[in-house]
Amino acid sequence: MGFLDKVERGLEKVVTSFFRGTSTSEVKPVELTTALRNEMDRGILPISEGRSLAPNDFVVSLSEKDFETAKGWGSSVVNELAKVTAEHASTQGYSVQSDIMIHFVSDPSFKVGEMEINGSIKDASSKPAASAPVREPAPKPSGAAAVPPDSAAPKTTAQPRPTSRPKPQPTAPSIPKQAILEVDGQRFALHHHSIVLGRSASTDIPVDDSGVSRQHVRVETRGQNIYVVSDLGSTNGTYVDGKKISTETRIFDGSIINIGQTKIVFRLITTNNGDHA
């Protein structure tokens, strides 16, 4: 289990008491955590080789009911959302302009359970609902001597040119991962290039939901561990991490796909658990 998965499990324990007796369609902090991380990944801006600038200011739009629910979570839960997002930036090696900041707004056009997250790159913003600093990644060792903190040398992002070409280090082989979809408590392993989900029994993964079209959504692979989702002209639409999609949309480990009243979770795992699809 990775570090962020442990944090998410801890977060889920923290907020359990807030959701006893509530509708399962309401937005939950654990879902927000995944959506915030995915929005950060989608919004990165490559600066140079090996360095990317990530969004640090996030506006979360919720339905009026979910907005009132979020207000009741308290600062400790919302600050935890910012902290987990900051840890994700640090783990991925992203650079950020300032602390991670999260703002909540109410949108009367949204239904319960719908959300939209817009990330942007900003300096310190005013009155966020939560903020958290991003821990700088540990500096890589080099042959140059360290400059004392009180040195008068100017700050610079330039790296010293090595006097000799370092020997290439062997790269560890990548661990193959299995893509799965979790649908109503069942796991389906994706062993084909294209998988169609819908209400029809002829689809690859039938979904028993009256709000789902006969052929509703397609999940396809675009290379190793790269997957995209496309709506197939469904009546009620397809939502990925709270956003209604109209074009082919990439999904990531932990992405949530909503069709009708059914929630589908996309996972990349290192084992071969799950049913064939």
pLDDT of residue 11: 42
At 237, list the tokens: 């639409």
pLDDT tens track, the chain, 277 positions: 454 444 444 444 333 323 323 344 678 888 888 888 888 888 888 877 778 888 888 899 988 999 998 888 888 888 899 898 988 888 888 888 888 889 999 988 888 888 888 888 887 655 565 555 555 555 555 444 444 444 444 443 444 444 444 455 565 555 678 899 999 888 898 888 899 999 999 999 999 999 999 999 999 998 777 899 999 999 999 999 888 999 999 998 888 999 999 999 998 887 644 455 5
Three-state SS across the chain?
CCHHHHHHHHHHHHHHHHCCCCCCCCCCHHHHHHHHHHHHHHCCEEEECCEEECCCEEEEEECHHHHHHHHCCCHHHHHHHHHHHHHHHHHHCCECCCCEEEEEEECCCCCCCCEEEEEECCCCCCCCCEEECCCCCCCCCCCCCCCCCCCCCCCCCCCCCCCCCCCCCCCCCCCCCEEEEEECCEEEECCCCEEEEECCCCCCEECCCCCCCCCCEEEEECCCCCEEEEECCCCCCEEECCEECCCCEEECCCCEEEECCEEEEEEEECCCCCEEC
pLDDT of residue 211: 93
pLDDT of residue 32: 86
pLDDT of residue 6: 46
